[in-house]
Structure 1
Amino acid sequence: MSDLSRQEFRKLIREKRNALCSDTQFQAGLDLITQFSQLPEIQRAQHIALYLSADGELDTKPLIEWLWQQGKSIYLPVIHPFSKGQLLFLQYLHDDQLVYNKYGILEPKLDIRHLKPIHELDLICTPLVGFDSLGHRLGMGGGYYDRTLSHWFNTGLGAKPIGIAHDCQRVDLLPTAHWDVPLPKIVTPSQIWQWESTK
């Protein structure tokens, strides 16, 4: 499998997670809460960026509901309307109006009153297509999160990233590119993977 290209890995892993049945997906969402409840970062954090799942990604809605119950503020990514390849993060409340972006992913309707600058977030939970035993993250190829996390990666300052994935999204070794930002921690329904030396 190590001879596969990044695009081939994307196709293979997306097929794996899309093949998961609804019962497995439901249980994965609950198990994710169990794992997150053990994270010291979650206990300390108040402003947490998450995302709404699509394309077979692990369902984050149960986690979002649980974090709301803990009194945390949740923010969702919105594609920047003017700066190509950049994300904005808007606070997400129970009754917020959501719209589909150009990728068919739900995001809050852009309202600058709800905007939270990235440097004021405590954690950024990132989606990913695949990850490996070294903490390398394979995204969808748009580079949005690599750009978002570049300041943290270069300085160690700002919101700490945590990846979220199904267990089936892990591979032994991914091909990497120079712009890739490895993650210090990735949470799956069964395990917390961490590479604290990453940053």
Structure 2
Amino acid sequence: MDVKQQHQTTALRSTLRQTFRERRKALSNSEQASAAQGLIEQVNKHALLKGASRVALYMTNDGELDTKPLIEHLWKSNIEVYLPVLHPFSDGHLLFLRYKKNTHMRANHFGILEPRLDCRDVCPLRQLDLLFTPLVAFDEQGNRLGMGGGFFDRTLANLVFDPSSTVRVVGLAHDIQKALSLPTQAWDIPLPYILTPSQLYRGKSALKSE
């Protein structure tokens, strides 16, 4: 891809990012509540929690699919929940910390709540069983468009290049965040699975392993 094509792809991704962000933020409270319940039903339908004891999620922001009911569901199922925290020493990377009902939370510089850093609560990435990732848009090939910061792209890259990793990765999104096709860049990591309140999509990487 030459420089002109790179600029065109970047511009298109920026436009798509804005479009899909506005689309999900336009959802009403009742639509969000219905979607959150549908998500739990899909998680149970596809047995995504089978054998899982440590699951990473994220705190909902910017109209994202509400994860709070799912977090409550995990707690009731005696499954440990972990949330991403901006790495204090490695810029652009994430740590995953245990999240409990009494966990002290603080807002990071993006305004997103995260557990206060305590090394005793850190779970190494490869010790997670299941990682649910946020996204702005997706397509049926498993391509994911994020917010542009690259935090989860770097996390996913660490898993892809670790041959011993057994972490299952699932993107979460509203149904309206599905695109016909997304422009990709060299560093993009396609998702094996994307879950919406109505369906589980299997990306190219999942199909190759099945």
TM-score normalised by length of structure 1: 0.95
Cα distance per residue 1:65-115 (max 9 Å; x no partner): 001111100000000011011000000001111111111111001111101
Match of 2:153 among 143, 146, 153: 146
Q: Which amino acid aligns with 1:180?
A: D
CA contact 1:32–1:187 (8 Å) conserved in 2: yes
Q: How does 1:152-167 map to 2 (within 5 A)?
A: 152-155=159-162, 157-167=165-175
1:134 to 133, 141, 150: 141
C-alpha separation in 2, matches of 1:40 and 1:25? 23
Counterpart of 1:66 in structure 2 is: 73
Q: 1:186 to 1:131 in 2, by over 3 A?
A: same
Choose which of 99, 103, 106 in structure 2 pairs with 1:96: 103
Match for 1:177: what amino acid?
Q
- Alignment of 1:197 onto 2:204: no
The whole-number CA distance in structure 2 between the counterparts of 1:198 and 1:97 is 41
Identity, % of aligned positions: 47
TM-score (norm 2): 0.90
Count, aligned residues:
197
Q: Is the 8 A contact 2:141 2:202 kept in 1?
A: no
Asked if the contact 1:151/1:158 (under 8 Å) is kept, the reply is no
Q: CA RMSD in A?
A: 1.4
Q: Cα deviation per residue 1:132-172 (whole Å; 9 max; x = unaligned)?
A: 12110000011111111113223452422100000000000
Residue segments in structure 2 that go unaligned for 5+ positions in a row:
1-8
Quick check: which has more Rg, 1 or 2? 2
**Equivalent residue in structure 2 for 1:179, among 164, 184, 187:** 187
Q: Which runs of 5+ in 1 are unaligned?
A: none
CA distance in structure 1 between the aligned counterparts of 2:112 and 2:194, rounded to whole angstroms: 22
The residue number in structure 2 matching 1:30 is: 37
